[in-house]
Structure 1
């Protein structure tokens, strides 16, 4: 049985889909790092670079990935 998701009319479905794609790339990168799979991690980084090149009007996802390696300021 399939599940339905309600999308509020005030939000743009394309924005939520785009956020899901970005979150998927971040999750893949973190999973690759956790597993220690350097080849998969490098492939994910390549896909992120291609995603950024295809979406120049959005904030670069690679910047978000790079910021994951910095410790949080207290």
Structure 2
């Protein structure tokens, strides 16, 4: 009877996953900035909070969005 040996290697999908997360984060920020009404912005903020809860190992995206309204340091 043949036997199989598992040879471990780095996960090839990790770069693709990282790229997908970056794309989602950028899209949330673009949608937030382009939102025509406060209601739209509030809904996007709600979705961002759900995204942050689902991805606890990443920096909070809501912090980045809040930072959009702060003046830049000189």
TM-score range with shorter-chain normalisation?
Answer: 0.7 to 0.9
Please give the TM-score of this superposition, normalised by the length of structure 2.
0.79
C-alpha distance after superposition, 1:20-52 (max 9, x if no partner): 0000000011001xx3x1111100000000000
Asked which structure has the greater CA Rg, the reply is 2
Query: What count of residue pairs does the alignment treat as equivalent?
Result: 62
Structure 2 gap segments, 5+ residues each: 1-11
> Which residue is equivalent to 1:6?
none
Identify which of 33, 42, 67 aligns with 1:30: 33
RMSD: 1.4
Please give the TM-score of this superposition, normalised by the length of structure 1.
0.79
Q: Which aligned segments of 4 or more residues in structure 1 are displaced greater than 6 angstroms? A: none
